[in-house]
Structure 1
Amino acid sequence: MLNTLLSLITVFTLGSADTKDVKVTESTIKWEATKVVGGGHEGTVILKEADLKLKGSELKGGSFVVDMTTINSTDLEGEWKDKLDGHLKSDDFFSVEKNPTAKFVITKVKKTGNGSYEVTGDITIKGKTETISFPATLTESGDKVTADATITLDRSKFDVRYGSSSFFDDLGDKAISDEFKLIVSLVASK
């Protein structure tokens, strides 16, 4: 009975939205992190799976799962790249052995203009879930639709402590900003 009720609520909320599988090989997620006093790093992480829910040409929902074992810095090479990539995967940062995926699920979409939206959803990193909101755009080109967003997250809410002045005093110029960005571009067929 409860499952039937939830299904009806979902149908009512989404209307006749179609679920489109995202082409993970054509989609990208880039990350950017900075130090409190200058400098920073950037890189990528690979999508494991994703979908967009569309009603006509309007965004109504969606989700994505990230393979955290693929976290990769793109601004370094050689030994320094290997060290940073290994550190990001360690318990100091994302504990990828214990938490191999991160997930985002849209819970609410508000249209703000032609192809523009305010998206709200639940993101889970390291087993901790937070509700976030951010602007997103949806564009159509040929037989494809692309959803783009820049998402700013506070890593301290996900117990990512290394170099965080939210957890440690006297870090000085070694402090790493708690905020980091995910630049997301999800590509699906219409």
Structure 2
Amino acid sequence: MKTSLIAIALIIASIVQVNAQDTANLDIQKSNLYWMGSSFMGFNNHHGTVKFKEGYVNLTNGKISGGEFTIDMNTITNLDGKGYNEGLVEHLKNEDFFFTFRYPTAQLTITQVDYIDANTITIKADLIIKSIKKPVKFTALLDYDKKEMLTNFDIDRTRWNILHATEFDTKIKNNMISDTIEFKAQLIFK
């Protein structure tokens, strides 16, 4: 009986160790999130950055298996140097875009990771902007030596109720800008 209990304890310990999960924290000082938006016809592009507040990935047996990232929407900047900087940033923060006073953060939670090869993964995640949760899917490249993940992805802003202008003139102004917001992320882990 005593031998059976010891054997069961060893089996449980080995299963726990095999499925051991580690966490790699995001280095928010070195990581970057770039955005780009444009008018409907591609004229008058704007681009900038927004900073991560925190983040991490879960590692199971050395492979990414999940994670979560929080974005500080009040850090949004415009870098296109067309004289729109302060006015555009304030406009992006107001209620017809990201409404950062009410929704100061956005969140991405990884729900599934599929390895295409050792350095390429497909990620399915839930993206929450303005308290609206929608699924997204994108591919990421991994560099283990640099502890880096690179990805580019687009979202349709209308899925998160990111609309241009007030309800009265939304249709006219909203149709003047592209529904697509492009993101480029460089994630560096500690």
TM-score by length of 1: 0.82
Cross-structure match for 2:188: 187
Q: Deviation per CA, 1:38-63, whole angstroms, max 9, x where unpaired?
A: 23100000100010122354222111
Query: Which residue among 33, 36, 40 is the counterpart of 2:40?
Result: 36
RMSD: 2.3
Cross-structure match for 1:147: 149
State which structure, 1 or 2, has the greater radius of gyration over its C-alpha atoms. Answer: 2
Cross-structure match for 1:83: 87
Following the alignment from structure 2 to structure 1, what is the Cα–Cα distance between the partners of residues 184 and 148? 13
Q: Deviation per CA, 1:121-178, whole angstroms, max 9, x where unpaired?
A: 100001100011111111122xx41111112111001111106xxx954559x71111
Please state whether the residue corresponding to 2:96 is helix, strand or coil: coil
How many corresponding residue pairs?
A: 171
Cross-structure match for 1:73: 78
Q: Which runs of 5+ in 1 are unaligned?
A: 1-10
TM-score by length of 2: 0.82
Q: Note the C-alpha offset of 1:186.
A: 1.2
Cross-structure match for 2:56: 51
Q: Which amino acid aligns with 1:58?
A: K
Following the alignment from structure 1 to structure 2, what is the Cα–Cα distance between the partners of residues 171 and 162? 6
Identical aligned residues as a percent: 27
Does the 8 A contact of 1:59 with 1:138 survive in 2? no
Cross-structure match for 2:119: 115
Following the alignment from structure 1 to structure 2, what is the Cα–Cα distance between the partners of residues 22 and 171? 37
Following the alignment from structure 1 to structure 2, what is the Cα–Cα distance between the partners of residues 169 and 68? 25
Please state whether the residue corresponding to 1:156 is helix, strand or coil: helix
Structure 1 residues 131 and 15: CA distance shift in structure 2, 3 A: farther
Q: Which structure shows the higher strand fraction? A: 1
Does the 8 A contact of 2:164 with 2:173 survive in 1? no
Q: Which amino acid aligns with 1:158?
A: W
Following the alignment from structure 1 to structure 2, what is the Cα–Cα distance between the partners of residues 90 and 51? 29
Following the alignment from structure 1 to structure 2, what is the Cα–Cα distance between the partners of residues 168 and 98? 20
Please state whether the residue corresponding to 2:147 is helix, strand or coil: strand
